[in-house]
Amino acid sequence: MALNDIPLFDEVLLRNLPVDNQVISEPNMDGLRLRPLCTRDFDRGFMKTLAQLTDVGDVSPETFIDRFEEMKRLGNHYVVVVEDTDNGSVVATALLILERKFIHACTTRGRVEDVVVCSSVRGKGLGKLLVSTLTLLAERLGCYKVTLECKPAISSFYERLGYTVSEELYMQRRFGH
């Protein structure tokens, strides 16, 4: 299967979200476009952008497509990208994952993950746009809460977007990476 422009999820979901008191009906900014991920983004530098967050490993186009198709099949992964429309490169991305639960009358929890803005375009408010968009999307999709993990040094960035530090600790066990 070749790389293509078919979106991971319906772009309509990103319309009319009241981000920063402005209704973004056309999520196009000056030379920048916020939209769902598609497989062609592999050739537009999506993985290089992610590599500014953490180690991304060696991922072939085939493996990328398999993971994309799996996310699409599952239907609970919302990866958004910001494309620089002047040169067609992906300059920022973030992911919202929905977790289905039995608690709270079979509710849904959202997790914002893998938020990264390329160093070349930092300072334009793209991080704020991505996180605000996915937070509002989580609400639109019926989540009772949306959470994220971040380094203490950037917690104020998320606090400005309405997040609070949880009383609960974030714990982990790592396997390999």
Give whichever of 26 and 99 is closer to ligand 16G, judged by the CB atom.
99
Q: Which of 3/150 has CB closer to ligand 16G? A: 150
Identify which of residues 10 and 58 has a Cβ nearer to ligand 16G in the complex.
Answer: 58
Task: Please pick, from the candidates 90, 98, 112, 138, the single residue that binds ligand 16G as defined by CB under 6 A.
Answer: 112
Of the candidate residues 59, 113, 147, 155, the single one contacting ligand 16G (CB under 6 A): 113
Distance CA 121, CA 134 (A): 19
- Name which position in 37, 115, 126, 143 contacts ligand 16G (CB under 6 A): 115
- Binding residues for ligand 16G restricted to 20-59, rule: CB under 6 A: 53-54
- The piece of 8-16, 98-106, 148-156, 160-168 that touches ligand 16G (CB under 6 A) is 148-156
CB neighbours of residue 105 within 10 Å: 7
Smallest gap, in angstroms, from Cβ of residue 116 to ligand 16G? 7
What distance in Å separates the CA atoms of residue 86 and residue 160, rounded to the nearest whole number? Answer: 30
User: Encoding tokens for residue 166?
Assistant: 């949880």
- In the bound state with ligand 16G, the residue whose beta carbon lies nearer, of 3 and 53, is 53
What is the length of the chain? 177
Q: Which is nearer to ligand 16G, 11 or 149 (CB)?
A: 149
What six digits make up the tokens of 75? 């239907």
Nearer to ligand 16G among residue 19 and residue 117 (C-beta) = 117
Among 20, 70, 149, 159, binds ligand 16G (CB under 6 A): 149
Interface with ligand 16G in residues 65-104 (CB under 6 A) = none
What residues line the site for ligand 16G (CB under 6 A)?
A: 53-54, 112-115, 148-150
